[in-house]
Amino acid sequence: MTRKRPNILFLMADQMAASALPLYGHGVVRAPNLTALGEGGVVFDSAYSNSPLCAPSRFTMMAGRLPSAIGAYDNAADFPADAPTFAHYLRLAGYRTTLAGKMHFCGPDQLHGFEERLTTDIYPADYGWTPDWERPEARPSWYHNMLSVVQAGPCFRSNQLDFDDEVAFAAKRHLFDIARGTDERPFCMVVSFTHPHDPYAILPEYWERYDDAEIDLPAVDIAPEDQDPHSRRLRHVSDMDRYPLTEAQIRRARRAYYGSISYVDDQIGMLLATLRQTGMADDTIIVFTGDHGDMLGERGLWYKMSWFEGSARVPLIVHAPRQFAPRRVGESVSLIDLLPTLAEIAGDGKAPDYAAPLDGRSLLPHLSGNGGHDEVFGEYLGEGAIAPLLMIRRERFKYVCSAPDPDQLFDLSADPRERVNLAGDPEHRDVIENFRAEAARRWDTDRLRQEVIASQRRRHLVAASLMAGAHTSWDFQPRRDAGRQYMRNHLDLDDLERRSRFPVALSPDDVGAAAE
């Protein structure tokens, strides 16, 4: 008898710094559901985004390829419809693929292999957020600014709460729909929340789970004039110098961020409870991750867009105790490794015939405790940069380079907070020269910069033209047939009520037989 392939529930949080979770050692944040998930699963201690910005991180994760391979440059980059994603591969393998929540798809294709999409996205699907590397002095008005920090605090309602409440409800109902339905295919459902992404505002009940006195301040404070060139550009693009921040404001922003983590944790707890209620928990692999982190004031920086640990490192948990014994993995891996991992899980450990070359490598050896790689490559090509900002993470070291800037080399074993740049240290001359030579072989940075600029020029023109005259939106429109929801006169009432319950109620014939 063929063993039923596992369901996959893929949970994602936006701008979730690994270091802010208790599972990774944070002493203040409360996230009991994620902690329990990690204690029963495989926890990756050194997982990274391949491009620390929302859209490119997600596109590379979905496609298993680096940004330069698929044009995933920034938050308004077109995600090519012919780029195979893990949703395509799983769907071909017989999975029912569903997306609820944020994935920041840009361009006319808003499905990218998902058979169903339960909600629209919180972010726009057009090219309006295209950066301009040819005018680095011009700060985009649509981008982050420090009002997110200055205005941090509790609220009863926000744009993001509206969205995530809808995502959680839609995902929960869909799990029950699967349990009540007749589709026997295994499912892969991605549920992607926008919290704890800024602005830093959260419901009072989550705000009050914390106290100002317990909120930790940033551990590393670097004055703007002492920062590296890319960090200074990030300060400009996010207008970080407009408002001098007080300790109280920093604590309030971090307190709201921690409260938002607790909010996400509760939504995840609800979905895990639904899996148990539907009897699907034992047959479902749960993956949890984020697209990038948040600096939260460390080094005087906020948000993401850099290769520092707070920005680039993400949580990654794979919970499948029937398949993989709980353990922690210290080797460095990245989000592009998830496509081959999920494809092999769907294929009972066998890789499909990939239609495009992959940059990611399967995590199955890590999950089973049989070795695995220890290497990450990253490309940041978005706002705040003026040329490709590249990263290699291997064993103890992280190497970062960009043509206009001095190189950076950090020994994360000895210096986890990245206080000391070893690029000019004579004792590490061989290490830095080897990394430089490797980067030169791997990337043609002049060509890549010109490709990014050419894409930006095209998208600026298209974006401007599509705003002239009648506007046609690319934003996903969820389809709901109200004629088949709830009570309708063309549906048999008794049958509808019986099938809508879970567990499904007895049919009239079964009721009669039971009475006899």
Catalytic site includes residue 54: yes
Q: Is the pLDDT of residue 275 over 60?
A: yes
CA distance 21 to 262: 10
> Residue 443: which pLDDT band, with cuts at 50, 70 and 90?
very high
- How many domains, the chain? 2
Structural domain includes residue 365 = no
Q: Worst-scoring range by mean pLDDT, 218-227, 310-319, 472-481, 504-513?
A: 504-513
| pLDDT tens-place string over residues 320-379 | 999 999 999 999 999 999 999 999 999 988 999 999 999 999 999 999 999 999 999 999
Mean pLDDT of all residues belonging to the chain: 94
Compute the average pLDDT of residues 299-312.
97
pLDDT of residue 505: 65
Q: Is the pLDDT of residue 1 over 60?
A: no
Phi, psi of 480 (to 5 degrees): -130, 125
Structural domain includes residue 455 = no
Structural domain includes residue 162 = yes
Catalytic site includes residue 230: no
245: domain CATH number is: 3.40.720.10
Structural domain includes residue 453 = no
Compute the average pLDDT of residues 21-40.
97
> Which structure tokens are listed for 268?
């995840």
Residue 373: Cβ-neighbour burial (10 angstroms; 0-12, 13-18, 19+): middle
Of the residues 88, 104, 112, 144, only one is catalytic, namely: 104
CA distance 498 to 508: 9
| pLDDT tens-place string over residues 85-99 | 999 999 999 999 999
Instruction: Encode 244-277: b = buried (16+ Cβ within 10 Å), e = exposed.
Output: eeeeebbbbbbbbbbbbbbbbbebbbebbebbee
| Domain boundary residue, one of 323, 338, 358 | 358
Q: What residues make up the domain containing 278?
A: 53-84+100-314+348-358
pLDDT of residue 316: 98
Neighbours of 456 (CB within 10 A): 22
This prediction's pTM: 0.95
Residue 161 shares a structural domain with residue 310? yes
| Higher per-residue pLDDT: 506 or 73 | 73
Compute the average pLDDT of residues 252-258.
98
Structural domain includes residue 137 = yes
Structural domain includes residue 245 = yes
| pLDDT tens-place string over residues 497-515 | 777 777 876 666 665 555 5
Compute the average pLDDT of residues 108-117.
97
Structural domain includes residue 3 = no
> Residue 141: which pLDDT band, with cuts at 50, 70 and 90?
confident
pLDDT of residue 2: 45
pLDDT of residue 484: 80
pLDDT of residue 382: 97
Residue 504: Cβ-neighbour burial (10 angstroms; 0-12, 13-18, 19+): exposed
| Domain boundary residue, one of 324, 358, 392 | 358
Task: Please say whether the beta carbons of 289 and 12 come within 8 A.
Answer: yes
pLDDT of residue 499: 74
Q: At what angle do helices 54-63 and 338-346 cross, to 10 degrees?
A: 40
Task: List beta partners, residue 285.
Answer: 8
Structural domain includes residue 8 = no
> How does DSSP classify residue 376?
E
Compute the average pLDDT of residues 442-467.
97
> Residue 25: which pLDDT band, with cuts at 50, 70 and 90?
very high
Q: Is the pLDDT of residue 159 over 80?
A: yes
Compute the average pLDDT of residues 439-465.
98
Nearest CA-CA partner of 392 in 383, 403, 401, 384 = 401
